[in-house]
Structure formats: C-alpha cells, structure tokens
C-alpha cells in the first residue's frame, strides 16, 4: 500500500510541475503578443529622469577627459594660510575641584568641554582664553587653553 501511495504522490507532483510550465509558457506568449507594455529599454534624460524615448543627441554635452578630477583635488597654499587652529573664547563654567569646564567660542558661539589636562594657565569663569580643538570621545574638546 505504501508503494501505491508513493507513486500517486509522484504523479501529482509531476502534474503540478507540468501545469506550472504550461502557465509560464502562456504568460511568455502573451507578453510577446502584447507589445503595448513598452520596450525593455529605459533611458535617462538630461535631468536624470527615466523616460521611454532615447535622448536627443543634439543636447549632448562634451566633457574633456582632462577636466575630470579623480580623488581629492589638491589644496591651494592660500587655503592653508587662512586656517588658524587657535581660537578665542570665554570660560562659561569651570569647576577647579572637579577639573573640568566649558568654553564658548567667540566665532560661532559653540560650547566646548575642557579638562584640567588640556589647560595650561589657571582659568576661572568669564576669563578670555585662547584654545585649540581636539576630537574627544563625545565631540570636540578645548585643549591648550591659555589666558589672553
């Protein structure tokens, strides 16, 4: 009895596979017959939009290969001289017993954390200071802090 059951299942599986093949073939023939769906090609126009029609060759822009820069463009010497790492600010809060405080930058009003390890001169609240920025664990920190 088990043998007849197995062959019955085999026959059913084979019928299901054959039915799937026939359906797939019918869909393929229907797609070939129906050409109103459009072509398989998609074009990109000059604005970056996808369109069905090819772009107009008269609007093509010629680009000289020597104008293409791969990688990071070289910096001018004038850019290097303009950047000054030393900033000026005001101490908004400083706790000498705990050894940390905050400095407000005069240029962009950003508040930066400072630790006693990055302070050169003795500072207190409302002192005008100069400092440099360094990347810390939680953002930018003021280091090399000196009184002005």
Instruction: For the chain, give every domain's residue range.
Output: 84-147
Which residues fall within 8 angstroms of residue 144, CB to CB, at 6 or more apart?
Answer: 118, 120, 131, 132
The predicted structure's pLDDT at residue 63: 86
Given a cut of 90, whether residue 92 has pLDDT beyond it is yes
Pick from 94, 86, 75: nearest CA to 143:
86
Mean pLDDT rounded to a whole number for the chain: 86
The pLDDT value given to residue 113: 95
Three-state SS annotation for the chain: CHHHHHHHHHHHHHHHHHHHHHHHHHHHHHHHHCHHHCCCCCEECCCCCEECCCCCHHHCCCCCHHHCCCCCCCCCHHHHHHCCCCEEEEEEEEECCCCEEEEEECCCCCEEEEEHHHECCCCCCCCEEEEEEEEECCEEEEEEEEEC
CATH of region 84-147? 2.40.50.140
Question: Binning pLDDT at 50, 70 and 90, where does residue 67 land?
Answer: confident
pLDDT single digits (tens) 106-147: 989 999 999 999 999 999 999 999 999 999 899 999 999 999
pLDDT in tens, 10-53: 999 999 999 999 999 999 988 887 766 555 788 888 788 898 88
């Amino acid at each position: 009895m088990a043998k007849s059951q197995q062959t019955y299942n085999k026959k059913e599986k084979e019928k299901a596979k054959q039915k799937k093949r026939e359906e797939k073939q019918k869909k393929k023939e229907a797609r070939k017959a129906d050409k109103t769906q459009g072509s398989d090609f998609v074009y990109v126009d000059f604005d970056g939009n996808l369109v069905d029609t090819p772009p107009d060759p008269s609007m093509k822009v010629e680009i000289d290969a020597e104008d293409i820069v791969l990688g990071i463009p070289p910096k001018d010497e004038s850019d290097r001289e303009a950047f000054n790492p030393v900033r000026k600010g005001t101490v908004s809060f400083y706790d000498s017993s705990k050894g940390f405080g905050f400095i407000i930058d005069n240029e962009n009003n950003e508040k930066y954390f400072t630790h006693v390890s990055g302070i050169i001169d003795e500072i207190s609240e409302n002192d005008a200071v100069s400092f440099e920025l360094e990347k810390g664990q939680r953002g930018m920190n003021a280091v090399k802090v000196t009184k002005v």
